[in-house]
Every structure is written in C-alpha cells, then in structure tokens.
C-alpha cells in the first residue's frame, strides 16, 4: 500500500513539513507500506486562472496529479491561515480539480496540522475538509492539531513529547486500519 505525505506549506523549514515527515517516519516503522514525502515547492504553480488553463495546464499540475493518481492514501499536514485552508493547498486542489486526466476522488485522506498557537490549527482543518470532500475525497473524520509546534520537535525532527507521539501513532494506526478494509 502506497502512502503519500505532504504539507500545505511552501516555506523552507515549515513546521507542517516536519509534522508530515514525523507521520511518515511512524508509518515507515510499520511493515507493508511504501511511503513518499513530497515538497509542494517542487511543484510550482501560478494562482489558478482559467486564461492560463486555456493555454495548457502547468507541468507541475500534471506531475502532481499523476503522483496522487498512483497512490492509495494521502496524509496532509496543513497550517491554518486566517481560520481556513492555506492558499497553496486550495490552489493545488483548484488546479487538480480542473485536470480531468487525473482524479483525487475516492482517495482516503488523513488531515493533521501543526501550529505555533494553542489551538493547533484545528479550526482551519474543518474548513480544509470541505474542498477535498467536494472533490470526492474521503477525509478521515478524526484529525490532529499539534499546538506550540515550534517547540515540539527535537533536532532529528522527532516529536519530543511521548504523549503527542502516541496520539499521532494511534491516529495513524486507526487510519491505516480503516483504509486496509
């Protein structure tokens, strides 16, 4: 079973890239999964504009769409921007939804979020579900917000607090068990 991990953030050193990588590490420790981490910075796209689409889809849209088409499940760690989905992630969804050769519909998706605040980005996660679900993605009902994320990781990028690591592990186990059905 192939699982793709990425973050809804472009910034070098993004806390959500770290959180996605930690989730990947926990899945790698189990057997039976082929995992891959992808950086959206390697898939540069302009802001969606139908005038651009009419001249041809940006190469990154097709590459990313093919990548997603080939996997069995997605884990996305996304920041909250203004109480909602970050523009980079919404932009990826808007482009992919127009490219009929690939489809993200019917894929299972686990959403998590890292944030410097106390709420862990949970509010934004609920808004982030909507466009994915509108595309037919099965967003796992349980999600996880990591608060105070700027202090959460050690130098290897692993979660320092055992309790939070176990929470993520438990959520991943629940998700993997569900998609195995």
Residue ranges that bind a second copy, judged by CB under 8 A: 10-12, 41, 45-51, 81-88, 90-91, 93-94, 97, 105-106, 118-119, 122-123, 126-127, 129-142, 147, 178, 181
Q: Measured from the CB of residue 28, what is the shortest distance to a second copy in angstroms? A: 25
């940006």: which residue's tokens? 58
Q: Measured from the CB of residue 152, what is the shortest distance to a second copy in angstroms? A: 15
φ and ψ at 175, to 5 degrees? -65, -45
Distance CA 166, CA 67 (A): 29
Q: Measured from the CB of residue 115, what is the shortest distance to a second copy in angstroms? A: 11
In sequence order, what are the residues at sequence separation of 6 or more whose Cβ sits closer than 8 angstroms to the Cβ of residue 79?
8, 9, 14, 15, 16, 86, 113, 114, 115, 121, 124
Q: Measured from the CB of residue 66, what is the shortest distance to a second copy in angstroms? A: 20
Q: Which is nearer to a second copy, 25 or 145 (CB)?
A: 145
Query: Of all helices (H) and strands (E), which one includes residue 109?
Result: strand 108-114
Q: Which is nearer to a second copy, 82 or 156 (CB)?
A: 82
């Amino acid at each position: 079973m192939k699982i793709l991990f990425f973050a809804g953030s472009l910034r070098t050193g993004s806390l959500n890239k770290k959180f996605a990588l930690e989730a990947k590490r926990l899945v790698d420790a189990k057997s039976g999964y082929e995992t891959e981490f992808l950086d959206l910075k390697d898939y540069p796209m302009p802001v969606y504009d139908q005038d651009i689409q009419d001249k041809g889809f940006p190469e990154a849209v097709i590459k990313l769409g093919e990548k997603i088409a080939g996997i069995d499940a997605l884990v996305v760690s996304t920041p909250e921007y203004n109480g909602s989905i970050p523009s980079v992630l919404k932009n990826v969804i808007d482009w992919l939804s127009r490219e009929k050769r690939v489809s993200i519909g019917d894929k299972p998706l686990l959403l998590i979020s890292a944030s410097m605040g106390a709420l862990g980005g949970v509010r934004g996660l609920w808004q982030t579900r909507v466009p994915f679900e509108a595309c037919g993605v099965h967003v796992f009902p349980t999600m996880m917000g990591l608060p105070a994320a700027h202090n959460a990781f050690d130098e290897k990028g692993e979660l320092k607090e055992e309790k939070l690591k176990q929470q993520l592990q438990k959520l991943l186990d629940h998700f993997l068990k569900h998609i195995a059905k």
